[in-house]
């Protein structure tokens, strides 16, 4: 499941499988990087915790995609889309209302 010591020493890399790590560390670092108001952070955390794992399970077990993507690729795409939506909407107002944040989250799925 993880890289062998020989691979690590030759390539200087460490591989940790998604099953061992999950999607949460990527999300936590992304949330720190985008620096949104605390109310938005709290709402996004609730939404991600409630929806993302369920969406990944739905895609993995119930759907037949034409092209397989790893969950981290899907999460990266979702976070990039969400960030741009929040950034573009925030140009008009200093702070978004929470309904706008939630709609942006749902669109980014």
Residue 71 and residue 63: Cα distance in Å, rounded? Answer: 14
**So what's the pLDDT on residue 12?**
65
**So what's the pLDDT on residue 78?**
95
Residue 16 and residue 33: Cα distance in Å, rounded? Answer: 22
**So what's the pLDDT on residue 106?**
94
Q: At what angle do helices 71-90 and 24-34 cross, to 10 degrees?
A: 20
**So what's the pLDDT on residue 15?**
64
pLDDT tens string 24-42 = 988 999 999 988 888 989 9
Residue 1 has pLDDT above 80, yes or no: no
Residue 69 and residue 73: Cα distance in Å, rounded? Answer: 6
Q: Do 34 and 104 meet the contact criterion of CB atoms below 8 Å apart? A: no
Place of tokens 């709609």: 103
**So what's the pLDDT on residue 34?**
87
pLDDT tens string 37-78 = 889 899 999 999 999 999 988 988 898 888 888 888 899 999
Residue bearing the bigger pLDDT, 105 or 3: 105
Residue 104 and residue 77: Cα distance in Å, rounded? Answer: 14
Residue 64 and residue 66: Cα distance in Å, rounded? Answer: 7
């Amino acid at each position: 499941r993880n890289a062998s010591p020989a691979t690590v020493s030759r390539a200087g890399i460490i591989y940790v499988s998604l099953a061992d790590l999950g999607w949460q560390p990527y999300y936590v670092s992304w949330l720190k990087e985008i620096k949104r108001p605390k109310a938005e952070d709290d709402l996004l955390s609730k939404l991600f915790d409630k929806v993302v794992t369920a969406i990944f399970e739905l895609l993995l077990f119930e759907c037949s995609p034409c092209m397989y993507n790893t969950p981290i690729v899907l999460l990266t795409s979702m976070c990039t889309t969400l960030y741009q939506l929040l950034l573009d909407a925030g140009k008009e107002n200093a702070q978004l209302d929470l309904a706008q944040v939630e709609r942006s989250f749902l669109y980014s799925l």
